[in-house]
Amino acid sequence: MDVTEQTFASAVIERSKEMPVVVDFWAAWCGPCRQLGPVLERAVAQRAGKVELVKVDTDANQRLAAQYRIQGIPAVKAFRDGAVVSEFTGALPAPAVERFLDELVPSEADGLVAQGDEQALRRALELEPGRADAALPLARLLLARGQHDEAAKLLANVTGSFAADGLSARIALERDADAALQDAFEALDQGETERGINLLIEALPRANGSRDEIRKVVVGVLDELGADSDLARAARRRLASALY
């Protein structure tokens, strides 16, 4: 669909509040634009109902081109909720266009993870094995039911996640946890995060062969708190002092 300065607000800004809209800024004289156009059209058609594609002729709509600082074409901008959320310039190859759209349009697994119930999480992992944001909540559901072995198997498929490593370490520790570690895990489960972290760090000096597992548990909790957490920053300093 061709969009002009008169229809841009409704066709792009307002429409993007309902679903993502990809805008292809192009011109008739632009060879790379003619190469990219069919690639974009095919990729968007494969995601029918999840994303829309519109085209803006930069020669005929120079104010729009200036507003969005188009300096080279083809220029592709993705809008969501009325704002640009992703963009690229140039005639990218089909695989790169596919990746661009995949990041913009939630996958089936994304929707299932957002749904969050056990059946949805299991289905998400069938579609994308090793997905941390599905494996972690499902593992916690299993742990609450006492299914430690199944939870451990789920987490073993996850790579590159401090939170998953921490939960795996906790499962291993719980098999022979002393009273202090049990208190720490109960505090974490009850939402007493600071107390749970403190108990874990305090357990490090007397932990003979389990120091690394305890460290992983703490690091996993801090990872979930996020880099901007004051509690996490303070706990990292305490953890470093206890370890070194």
Name the amino acid, one letter, at 244: Y
Query: Do the beta carbons of residue 231 and residue 190 sit within 8 Å?
Result: no
State the Cα–Cα distance between residues 181 and 183, nearest whole angstrom: 5
The answer to whether 105 touches 53, Cβ cutoff 8 Å, is no
Give the active site residue among 12, 21, 22, 30. 30
Identified catalytic residue from 3, 12, 33, 65: 33
Is 212 among the residues known to form the active site?
no
- The torsion angle over the Cα atoms of residues 130, 131, 137 and 142, rounded to 10 degrees, is -20
Residue 77's H or E segment, with its range, is strand 75-80
Neighbours of 111 (CB within 10 A): 12
Residue 243: active-site member: no
Residues marked active site are found at 30, 33
